[in-house]
Amino acid sequence: MPERIQKILSAHAVASRREAERMILAGRVTVGGVPAKLGQSAQFGVDDIAVDGVPLAPKDSFVYIMLNKPRGYVTTVSDERGRKTVMSIVKDVGVRVFPIGRLDINSEGLLLMTNDGEFANGVAHPSFSKAKTYEVRVGGDAKEAAAMLRRPLDIDSHTVHAKSVSLLKTTDTGGVLRISIYEGRNKQIRKMCAQCGLEVLSLKRVSIGSVSLGTLKTGRWRHLTRAEVDLLSNES
The answer for residues whose C-beta is within 8 angstroms of residue 206's C-beta and 6 or more apart is 109, 110, 133, 134, 135, 178, 212, 213
Residue 92 catalytic? Answer: no
- Residue 99 φ then ψ, to 5°: -70, 145
Catalytically annotated residue among 104, 154, 172, 230: 104
DSSP codes joined into one string, 179-223: EEES---TTHHHHHHHHTT-EEEEEEEEEETTEE-TTPPTT-EEE
d(CA 85, CA 108): 13
| 86, 73 contact by CB (below 8 A) | yes
Angle between helices 117-124 and 226-234 in degrees, nearest 10: 60
As to burial, measured by CB atoms within 10 angstroms (0-12 exposed, 13-18 middle, 19+ buried), residue 156 is exposed
Max Cα-Cα span within the chain: 64
Sign of CA dihedral 28, 34, 38, 41: negative
User: CA 59 to CA 70: how far, in whole Å?
Assistant: 30
* Active-site amino acid positions: 104
